[in-house]
Amino acid sequence: MSPTTTSTSDTFKGWVAHNATSPLTFTTFTPKPFKATDIEVSVSHCGICGTDIHTLRSGWGPADYPCVVGHEIIGTVVRVGSGVSTLASPAASWEIRVGDRVGIGAQSMSCLRADCEACADGQENYCPRITGTYNARYGDKSKAYGGFAERWRGPAHFAFRIPDSLPSAEAAPLLCGGVTVFAPLRKYGAGPGKSVGIVGIGGLGHLGILFARALGCDRVVAISRTLSKKKDAIEGLGADAFITTDEDKNWARAHSRSLDLIICTVDAADMPLTQYLRLLKVDGTFVQVGAPEKPLPQLTAWSLIQKGVKVTGSNIGSPEDIRQMLRLAAEKRVLPWIQKRPMEDVNATLADMDAGKARYRYNRTVSDFNSRNCRIRRTCSVGNRISELDNRPIRNAEHPAARRTRTLRRQHIHGAGKDSPPSQRIEIGNHPGELDDQAFRYRGCSQLSDAGFR
């Protein structure tokens, strides 16, 4: 077994969609072939994004079934390809090691060619050969499968180490929802002196308010259809004002020319687009990030001409955007509002999400499932229970002496003497999902390997 490998199975299990109407079923699927520049992750959490719903029902066109959605993935690295440490990537992905906690968002690959204008410019999210995390194909035509699964496998370039201060459940929605609002906010100058409007207070929208605040905007305005989310937006998320577009007939006139920038997360085509543009100041920018299944409403030329406004769109974020977003989230404590739902409820959770019931992001916790198995597996072959100590994370930054002590303790628990050869040293995981996996793998002491030890 390679020293950077704790997993070799080429069959994964996950919640698979077989067509646009049947419920997801928990079954096996075959991930992409493992390449030298890939990693494999034991998934602990995965957010549910509006895009999952559009894709599952083939809303934007026929999906490539069987399909495993989920692109707000958090998990623990269990396998690192031999070429990852040599990546010439500015993404720092070459630093990823077994045991690291990482996140994967909505993009799993781009062409990464030097002659690709987008990739060479660090805008992989606009590469013409972009590979989404699911419902997409890699260059070798193998299918990309997402995070509604026990495992994710894919290129290290699009996996990101999660700052220690961000809990996994809260970090998950940042990987797609977070960066999708953060990237245009930053690109179009959200910050001190600016008034920003966020339209649609759902998964993306509530993160839009949080990030606009974190970026230091003077004024953040939540724009929603009804009053039902006003208290959350103002008292909880920190918006300065709240506009209701269905319940206040005069809203567009009353608030005209008040905003420098609008981020629109609405995912239905029947939105009052002309009125949204009325809210912009001269030279203001309207960025559409929501992706309705039908064409946007028509505009008259005067909506653009009268104030010289710009109407544009934005696609997720680049790897560099994701890293900056994670840093800001860690620094300013940008924590999504999440509702944890067990993975067994995935079909009911998807229906609730589709009905607009999420407040504001559902998060499927695979770790619930894994930890249930852990209770069975947390006994090693010599009958010693793995103590709570062994659940504590081992950080890369931990003092070498402390790391060694804890490693030896683990060896003891597993019956391997402190003089065991390196191939018999073990570390039991950083996170619940990994603990489960490694405890299972290492339950026979005679089969210990140096996998996971570093």
Ligand X SMILES: NC(=O)c1ccc[n+]([C@@H]2O[C@H](COP(=O)([O-])OP(=O)(O)OC[C@H]3O[C@@H](n4cnc5c(N)ncnc54)[C@H](OP(=O)(O)O)[C@@H]3O)[C@@H](O)[C@H]2O)c1
Stretch near ligand X under the rule CB under 6 A, chosen from 50-58, 90-98, 299-307, 375-383: 50-58
- Could you say whether residue 176 binds ligand X (CB under 6 A)? yes
Stretch near ligand X under the rule CB under 6 A, chosen from 30-38, 287-295, 404-412, 418-426: 287-295
- Could you say whether residue 119 binds Zn ion (CB under 5 A)? yes
Q: Which residues contact 221 (CB under 8 A, 6 or more apart)?
A: 195, 196, 197, 198, 239, 240, 241, 242, 243, 255, 258, 259
CA 363 to CA 356: how far, in whole Å? 15
Classify the C-alpha dihedral 67-144-441-428 as positive or negative: negative
Q: Which is nearer to ligand X, 72 or 437 (CB)?
A: 72
Q: Could you tell me if 126 and 110 are in contact, meaning their C-beta atoms sit under 8 angstroms apart?
A: no
Q: Please give the helix or strand (H or E) that residue 51 lies within, else none.
A: helix 50-56
- Could you say whether residue 291 binds Zn ion (CB under 5 A)? no
Q: Which is nearer to ligand X, 340 or 385 (CB)?
A: 340
CA 290 to CA 282: how far, in whole Å? 24
CB nearest ligand X: which residue? 202
Q: Which is nearer to ligand X, 305 or 355 (CB)?
A: 355
CA 434 to CA 416: how far, in whole Å? 20
Q: Could you tell me if 209 and 198 are in contact, meaning their C-beta atoms sit under 8 angstroms apart?
A: yes
Q: Which is nearer to Zn ion, 80 or 350 (CB)?
A: 350
| DSSP symbols for 382-440 | TSPBPPGGGGS---TTS-HHHHHHHHHHHHHHTT--TT--GGG-----SSHHHHHHHHH
CA 285 to CA 453: how far, in whole Å? 51
Stretch near Zn ion under the rule CB under 5 A, chosen from 23-31, 105-113, 270-278, 359-367: 105-113
Per-residue x/- track, 427-446, ligand X (CB under 6 A): --------------------
Q: Which residue has the tokens 């950080």?
A: 395
Q: Which is nearer to Zn ion, 52 or 260 (CB)?
A: 52
- Could you say whether residue 176 binds Zn ion (CB under 5 A)? yes
Angle at CA of residue 324, ends 139 and 212, nearest 5°: 120
- Could you say whether residue 127 binds Zn ion (CB under 5 A)? yes
Please identify which residue in 37, 51, 265, 438 interacts with Zn ion, judged by CB under 5 A.
51
Query: Closest distance between Zn ion and the C-beta of residue 357, in Å?
Result: 18
Please identify which residue in 110, 131, 133, 303 interacts with Zn ion, judged by CB under 5 A.
110
Provide the binding-site residues for Zn ion, judged by CB under 5 A.
49, 51, 106, 110-111, 116, 119, 127, 176
Provide the binding-site residues for ligand X, judged by CB under 6 A.
49-51, 54, 176-177, 180, 200-205, 224-225, 229, 265-268, 270-271, 289-291, 314-316, 356, 358
